[in-house]
Amino acid sequence: MERYYKERFEAQRRLARKVAPFMEANEILEKMRSELREIIPVAMEACILLLDPEAGKYTRPLQCALYDRPVNCLKCKRHRPAIQQAISRKKAVMVKGSEPVERHDGTSVPIGPEAAAPVFSEDTLLAVVSVVARPGTSFSGRDFFLLQDFAETVGHLIGSAKKHWSMTQEKIRINQMLTHLSPFVPQSVRTMAEKNPEMLGREKEKKDVSVLFLDLEGYTKLSMDRPEAEVNTLVEKIFSSFVDPIHRSHGEINETAGDGLMIIFKDDDPRQNAANAVKAAIDIRQRNREVNRELAASHKPVNVNMGINTGEALLGMTRLEGTLSTRMTYTASGTVTNLAARLAEHAQGGEILFGQRTRDMIENLWPVYDRGKIRLKGMDAPVQIYSLFSPEGLKNRQP
């Protein structure tokens, strides 16, 4: 393991510099994967297959680049010979002759040799680091050692991410979130007051944001059919499962309203805001399906319909004055917010709908289905809308 020590040291130092600015486990994993592609010259794809059953709590799956649309690396490579051998042997392996990767449309991608290294914590398998080489190339001894180094670093990262998630889980439980979001000042306002108290008196400013609205389908009927306490417990359980995905994608829960949530994505990069909103929506939908399965014995499935819109909004403080108290919130107002809410109302069966600007911002990142122009309440003209799922695919994805 002392061979190529200089190259391995330099690779680790570069990696440390690149991941240092990032806090989210998924962002760090993406940077690590990008670096692995660069330092192994023959690599056409590198991936980190997250096999830890709890991985969904602290990160999201990476997407394989060998497909013409986003595909979870687990679906693409989980049963490849190199992956299976690395798991069974509990060490890094290389497979010289590999079958092409078969894509969903029947086409295939020719590849060269594959290498894989398992990531263990004691005897628990957490992940596998996989590298696919271009046809007609081969891995060097240096490449193999670098792969092993990366697998070890990935193990440390996943361990830290799990520990961090465990330490903060109690702090973000939804019963506390729901208790504090509605009657009191949101965290964003408290933080602003501590760091920049002068901003509390500023006028609202125009800024590009993405807004995600969640709406529980059938909430009114549910409230009529079941006791209020039971409905509240169910809603809290459903919403509690969304907090981690929202935070992970840099969203801020702005408002709660019985059966809905409003989330704002307001970083400086409009494209990143749109991508983060879609990532959060996909994660939320998956968590909703999991909760529905957990509650299947006692409740019918409760779908979460979502609407996303991107555009310029008035961003700033809103003061709500009542007879007994005054509540302040930091919110986005305007047409962009109204359209997101209307899209969530229009969605059915767990749909994720979004407008033209969001579609433009996420072009080539996800498959997009044109749903045509529709009339929405409060909108003067028909609105062009899009969905992440085709009508047929949506039926197949029901909880």
Higher pLDDT residue, 21 or 110?
Answer: 110
Whole-number average pLDDT of the chain = 77
- 99 with 187, same domain? no
Domain with 328 in it: what CATH number?
A: 3.30.70.1230
Residues 152 and 197 in one domain: no
Q: Specify whether the CB–CB gap between 354 and 367 falls below 8 A.
A: no
Q: Residue 322's pLDDT is what?
A: 46
> Do both 41 and 94 map to the same domain?
yes
Judgement on whether residues 159 and 189 belong to the same structural domain of the protein: no
Q: What is the CATH number of the domain that holds 35?
A: 3.30.450.40
Q: What number is the average pLDDT over the span 160-171?
A: 62
DSSP 287-331: HHHHHHHHTTTTS----EEEEEEEEEEEEEEEEEE-SS-EEEEEE
Residues 188 and 165 in one domain: no
pLDDT at res. 162: 72
Tally of domains within the chain: 2
At 99, the pLDDT band (50, 70, 90 cuts) reads confident
Confidence of residue 9 (pLDDT cuts 50, 70, 90): low
Residue 235 has φ and ψ, to the nearest 5°, of -65, -40
Considering the domain architecture, whether residues 208 and 221 belong to the same structural domain is answered as yes
Same structural domain, 181 and 137 = no
| Domain termination residue (choose one: 125, 151, 170) | 170
Instruction: Out of 170, 195, 225, pick the residue that ends a domain.
Output: 170
The span from the CA of 167 to the CA of 174, in Å, is 15
Average pLDDT over residues 16-25: 59
- Residue 177 has a pLDDT of 40
**Confidence (pLDDT) at 2:** 52
Range of the domain at 98: 5-170
The residue out of 155, 170, 185 marking a domain boundary is 170
Residue 91's pLDDT is what?
92
Residue 181's pLDDT is what? 38
Q: Is the pLDDT of residue 183 over 70?
A: no
Do both 187 and 144 map to the same domain?
no
Phi, psi of 66 (to 5 degrees): -80, -5
pTM, two decimals, is 0.52
- The yes-or-no verdict on residue 11 having pLDDT over 80 is no
Q: Are residues 94 and 151 in the same domain?
A: yes
One domain, residues 316 and 379 = yes
Cβ atoms 185, 317 nearer than 8 A: no
Q: Are residues 11 and 147 in the same domain?
A: yes
* pLDDT the model gives residue 271: 93
Asked if residue 200 and residue 137 are part of one domain, the reply reads no
133-148 pLDDT per residue, tens: 999 899 988 888 888 8
- pLDDT tens for residues 192-238? 444 554 554 555 678 889 999 998 886 666 666 777 777 777 777 88
CA proximity to 173, closest of 261, 243, 252, 260: 243
pLDDT in tens, 286-345: 888 888 888 777 777 788 999 999 998 876 666 544 444 444 555 666 788 888 989 998
